[in-house]
Chains A and B, each alone.
Chain A
Amino acid sequence: MVSAKRILSDLRLFGRGYLRNRVGLFFGLIFPVILILLFGAIFSASSGTVNVYVQNQDSGPISTLFLDALNHTGTINVQLVNVSDSLPQVLRDNSVGDGIVIPENFSLNYLMGIPVNITVYGNPSQSSSAIVSGTVSAVANEFNLQHYNGSMIIGLTPATFTLSKYIDFLIPGLIGFSILVSPMFSVVSISSEYKKMKLFKQLSLTPLTKMEWLASKVLWYIFLSTLSFLLMTAVGVFLFGANIMLTVWLIPFLILGPMLFASLGMLVGTLTKNPDTAAVIGQVITFPMMFLSGTFFPISLMPEYLRTTAHVLPLYYIIEGLNAVMVYANYAQALIDIAVVTVITVILFVAAAKLFKWRED
């Protein structure tokens, strides 16, 4: 009954039309890449080192060692300020909140065991200030311990965990975003427009079945999402040095995701009276799902009740699964997510194929 030849022929016609429509192409392929460039640029800067203005009033060797130690933490980048300048004024002039003053006789006092205080300027509302004060107190502790024991009791072995970079988390999120947005919005729009323009009626006069038509749309959006996935991954890895794993475990998500949201879009287009209503309902479903499923920021940052809500959203499982595969290599978790997504996809696809009508009574 289902003919692969008819599906391919519809796929070819639809794909060609899609490529001729620059708006669709922009939102399907270019927009997600722009997002990754944008978010990547914003967050790779702040997740790197914090610039700190430092006024060193001390002339001894210990303050130099101390500043070297700060620089070596990798979280602080020391910018020296002239002793004659007023540090608060420098901070104001540069519109930054983070600064350190190392007092006169710092080295002398340290060597003689006299308590000495470092002044740390900071803005409590900025996360960078917490980083600065944390780093400075860690280095200060180290110096204290060295002074009194000569050897460190508790040391820190520098270790990197791949999750430390925001971009690693961002890529699965934005892939989820493109899997959601492009099929969902396009299929909502075409299914309601075709209904209005009586194109489904037109198609019902050919041997193409509605199942074949839907299958061709699903295949197209799988193709498009895969292309978008490759583009985003390339940008993330080559431009921002993202550390993500590419394995066959990604394939189920790249197939099921577009199928799920194309079916959901089809349902919205079918169950609404006109294209305007369809577009609004499509957005009402899409935008909250987009923000609550961990697309742009980790779901762990959200309050408890929102985290619970997120569990009813299909995109949540796709993004969780993509994170499990690409970032944590946690395949047991991925398997659960694949199972959940499969069930939702099958339900939505069958419902869409059943409810959507070629002809009217």
Chain B
Amino acid sequence: MTAKLTLRNGIAAALLIALALLPVYVQVMHAPFLLTLFTRIIILALAAVSLNLILGFGGMMSFGHAAYLGIGGYAVGILAHEGVMSGFVQWPVALAASALFALVIGALSLRTRGVYFIMITLAFAQMAYYVVSGIARYGGDDGLTIYKRSQFVAPVNLSNKVQFYYICLLLLFGTIYLVWRLVNSRFGMVIQGSRSNDTRMRAIGFPTYRYKLTCFVIAGTLCGLSGALLANHTDFISPSVMYWTRSGDLIIMVVLGGMGSVVGPVFGAIALLVLEEVLSGITEYWQIILGPMLLLVVLFARGGIDGLLTRIGGKEQA
């Protein structure tokens, strides 16, 4: 995959540069609100990129991806609640907990395929939701306030909004790069091969179950990172971040942005969250517009934004 200068790649590059320069704009225009919004967008974009690894490239339709947002977030929240403030402890625990959950869920769910897989991942994520809602010690339904963000060594201070924004952005870039490398590696080829024809991949000797499970765990872990960031961003964590509609939002981001490419979900996250912001400014009942729009996207705009840009660019995607 050599990066050619197509319209799509141009826009992707422009977008990434724009994201990098956003704090400057915020500073000049005095619009701190934008910084908060885009920090959130970037964090959820990271989750969407991780979902795309299994959904777009692996063909595993997980409808429970938001569970890792909650697990990553609660790892940070619970540790902070118990007095462990160091990010060097909190974040690895968040990642490990997400990885472990993904391993268990994946090992069970990957025994099935298709609709079963959708429903099972959904059901397990809901289970996690109910379990967390039931733990009164950590706020139950009401959630858990995080009084202090994760502590790192001296120059790094997550409470500084601009610094936090850049940390999130760097992590997003890192994730995109990681996923891009993964997808184009031998491992990624096996995963994509198994999406197209699992039986054939097994026939030529690949233990696809193990490959898919590994991929599932990687995606879950990355999403756990996003959860840890989200908890730090909102200074709060509640079961609602792992509610199944949140998993639906993540799928929307991936499909809206385009499943065929690594950066697609970033387009999708920006489009969905900005759209939400704009629509909710117009009417209180904005979901009445968003719902049918989704249906229309499904019916008429295959390949999402990324596919659209590729088609306008008039070149086949590399």
A and B physically associate: no
